[in-house]
Amino acid sequence: MQKLEEHIVIIGNGISGITCARHIRKNSNKQITVISGESEYFFSRTALMYVYMGHMKFEHTQPYEKWFWKKNKIDLIHKFVTGINTLNNTIQFKDNSVLSFDKLVIATGSKPNKFGWPGQELSGVTGMYHKNDLENIERFAPDNKTCKRAVIVGGGLIGIELAEMLHSRNIPTTFLVREKSFWGNVLPSEESAVINKEITDNHIDLRLGVNLKEINADDNGNVKSITIAETGEIIDCDLVGLTAGVTPNIDFLKASGIKTAKGIIVNRYLETNIPNIYAIGDCAEQEVAIDQRRPIEAVWYTGRMMGETVAQTICSKKTAYKPGHWFNSAKFLDIEYQTYGWVFSEKNKKENEVYFQWKHPKEQKCITISFDKTTQQFLGINTFGIRLRHEIFDTWLTENKTIAQVLEYLADANFDPEFYKVHEPEIVAKFNLENNTNIHPKKKSWKRIFSKS
Ligand SMILES: Cc1cc2nc3c(=O)[nH]c(=O)nc-3n(C[C@H](O)[C@H](O)[C@H](O)COP(=O)(O)OP(=O)(O)OC[C@H]3O[C@@H](n4cnc5c(N)ncnc54)[C@H](O)[C@@H]3O)c2cc1C
């Protein structure tokens, strides 16, 4: 008798779950079921903001046509999972139905943090994570007549996206940020100051060093205002966006026996403590952090990498998760940000690290390069307003280049479109002046660039 193929169940149809499903299908004929309580089909979470801003419709955030799933024999279930029974390998749904699995991948992502603020469940209070958050924002802040003011609580990458969204519809917005400077626990202070300026230049009412005390309701249970903890100031508003970070979405695992801390604890093979159960993406927490990376990384590309990696293991090619050098990119209103390697805020900077910084005298452009004070080894770079070539920095980090080598060939790493102003000569001149060096920047060489890619 022919052996039935294993049934792989994946909870979560975000980037990590879907990447895992696609790669299992590429490598096997296993039975695959993907479950999501949020949406029937995979969509790009990072594109949600552009739906509100009118650049695209929600359907356009779904990269695969509907026929794709049937053609590739990936079954989709649109239901909420309420529990996992690890003794008989089944999952339970909210409607009390049950599904059995041979192997289970948990890819349930994150949820917005709520810190027990009074009023956090009122109508008109929303996160900016899920599809229904977008629907809430559309409902409570369709225009500046319905929403006379919005308040965003929590400065970070999602908070600034929400600020940009509301700004696109001319909705007056107050932005409460706990730190003394925007993203000041992540960025060096000079860069953080550039973002503060960008926010206030866009007429967003940025309040630094303040915390939310409570959200106040009107007689109908809708948001009426918020109170600031430090000053007692009351700000009238019609929408409150909670964007003070995210936490793994794992409450439904409580009684399962699957080991969790903040996230689901996994080893390098993304295996949990229970055989044949894996966790990937935002909800996974590395038992031992990889290099200087955080044990939980709530970013898109690491979710994709984990999905691909665990699919190999499930298809009998046991593969460790090796994310390589840290990189990330984001946008702060009109300023593009990229980071490669490690550049920390002053507070988190290590003793051996020295920063070289350059800032454009007029425009919102700056870079910070981190290097080792003794060995001169290049450790990382942040840029604002200048685009860089990922593969070049990846190679330079692998090859342990020195700061002098990086500056000499910096033009090769520039990825700005043709005819954009170049700044490498000014950047290198500043470094030479400050460090009494004589580095000569080389002209961009396509030959060198292509030899790296
Ligand atoms: C507004 C916004 C902008 C972002 N921008 C960037 C960016 O520019 N760059 C970047 O790197 N990252 C960005 N991120 C982060 C990135 O989107 C996430 O890291 C990534 O989407 C996580 O993917 P995931 O597959 O792990 O989880 P998710 O995308 O969260 O998918 C998990 C899915 O599982 C479902 N689920 C959860 N629990 C259950 C349950 N019990 N039953 C059934 N289904 C369940 C969820 O509803 C969800 O559909 C952004 C995030 C947001 C919210």
List, for residues 58-88, the tens digit of each pLDDT value.
999 999 999 999 999 999 999 999 999 999 9
**What is the distance in A from the centroid of ligand 1 to the CA of 66?**
20
What string of DSSP letters covers 83-115? EEETTTTEEEETTS-EEE-SEEEE---EEE---
Looking at ligand 1, which residue's alpha carbon is closest to its atom 35? Answer: 12
Report the C-alpha gap between 287 and 408 in whole angstroms: 40
| Ligand 1 pocket check for 337: Cβ under 6 Å | no
Residue-wise pLDDT for 179-229, tens only, equals 999 999 999 999 999 999 999 999 999 999 999 999 999 999 999 999 999
Single pTM value for the model: 0.95
Looking at ligand 1, which residue's alpha carbon is closest to its atom 41? Answer: 81
| 298-309 b/e (C-beta count within 10 Å ≥ 16 → b) | bbbebbbbbbbb
Report the C-alpha gap between 405 and 398 in whole angstroms: 13
**What is the distance in A from the centroid of ligand 1 to the CA of 153?**
20
| Ligand 1 pocket check for 11: Cβ under 6 Å | yes
**What is the distance in A from the centroid of ligand 1 to the CA of 232?**
35
**What is the distance in A from the centroid of ligand 1 to the CA of 110?**
6
| Ligand 1 pocket check for 306: Cβ under 6 Å | no
Residue-wise pLDDT for 6-28, tens only, equals 999 999 999 999 999 999 999 99
| Ligand 1 pocket check for 45: Cβ under 6 Å | yes
The answer to whether residue 373 scores a pLDDT higher than 60 is: yes
CB under 8 A, 24+ apart: contacts of 157-160: 157/330, 158/112, 158/128, 158/129, 158/243, 158/246, 159/128, 159/241, 159/243, 159/244, 160/195, 160/199, 160/331, 160/332, 160/333
The answer to whether residue 253 scores a pLDDT higher than 90 is: yes
Per-chain mean pLDDT for the chain: 96
Return the structure tokens found at 284: 């996974």
| Ligand 1 pocket check for 252: Cβ under 6 Å | yes
Residue-wise pLDDT for 309-338, tens only, equals 999 999 999 999 999 999 999 999 999 999
List all residues 6 or more positions away from 399 whose beta carbon is below 8 Å from its beta carbon: none
Angle formed by the axes of helices 300-314 and 15-27, nearest 10°: 30
